[in-house]
Amino acid sequence: MKCTNIARILPAILILTVFCTLAQAGSERPAPRFTAHTLSGEVFDNQSLSGNVVLLQFWATWCPYCRRDQPAVDKLQHAFAAKGLIVLAVNVGESEAVVRKYLKANPRSCRVVLNNGLASRFGAHGFPYYVLIDRQGNIAGTQSGSGGEESLLDLLSRAGLSMHSPAREAGDESTSAPGSSGVKVIDVPQTGSRGAPLKPSPKTVFVFKNGERLEVDHYSIDAGVLHLTKDGQQRAVALSTLDIKSSLDVNHERGVELKIPQSRSEVTIAF
């Protein structure tokens, strides 16, 4: 692949390692009112889901981190179904035809839902994004980014599902290591020609169309997707959700020249 627009590259070492994603504690606030229609014709809403633990996974077919978590998500749905867990995999921004084509090649055992406004209602901008709803209908926790089975088990525990799950006891190593195929970028300490520390570069700011902002150091952009690391968590964001002009203007004011690839053969990387 042609690689151009390499921006603000600092010395770095690439090693294979594990990315862990932390689940954020919920504030015990009621989940927003919503209705979800599955591809199989089922309809779920807050009332029908009451008494169950619900895990919403916001995902997209183009998201590599979503594909990485898919086996773990489907496995946990099976392992905890008898304890009242319902997993709804909410596809965001893609047509039914695209989703069905993907599922034909990559079957899922959990229920799949088309977005229908759910992403904005639950504040999902990067993928995968998880929302856990407890049996009382409150948001028990959220997780932004891929973390594998262990991270999802920790999230489920916030709604009272046991950490000693059948999934973990089975000893299946295929999905137990969170993000085992991930690559971690480790910065080498920066020094000037005489050993003096270099002045740190400003972070790059990405502005969403809804006004939300993210400031990051490490990211790459390819094929219409922004891949970034925020607070140690991996996220994949469709460029279509960004306000490109505002992002360019804000960064220019900060002395950062943000480069957006103009074709699918170009890649922008920043370490």
* pLDDT tens digits along 186-217: 333 333 444 444 445 688 888 888 888 888 87
Rounded to whole angstroms, the Cα distance separating 210 from 207 reads 8
> What domains lie within the chain, and their CATH numbers?
18-169 (3.40.30.10), 186-270 (2.30.30)
pLDDT the model gives residue 226: 83
Name the stretches of the chain with pLDDT < 70: 1-28, 163-201, 223, 230-233, 264-266, 271
pLDDT single digits (tens) 90-128: 999 899 999 999 999 999 999 999 988 899 889 888 889
The pLDDT of residue 5 is 41
Strands 225-230 and 111-114: unpaired
User: Are 19 and 148 in contact, with CB atoms under 8 Å apart?
Assistant: no
Contacts 24+ apart (CB under 8 A), 167-174: 167/75, 167/76, 167/78, 167/79, 167/80, 172/75, 174/71
Please state, in angstroms and rounded to a whole number, the distance separating the CA atoms of residues 183 and 186.
Answer: 10
Q: How far apart are CA 152 and CA 77, in angstroms?
A: 11
Q: What pLDDT score was predicted for residue 192?
A: 41
Q: In this predicted structure, what is the pLDDT of residue 176?
A: 36
Instruction: Please report the pLDDT score of residue 209 as a whole number.
Output: 84
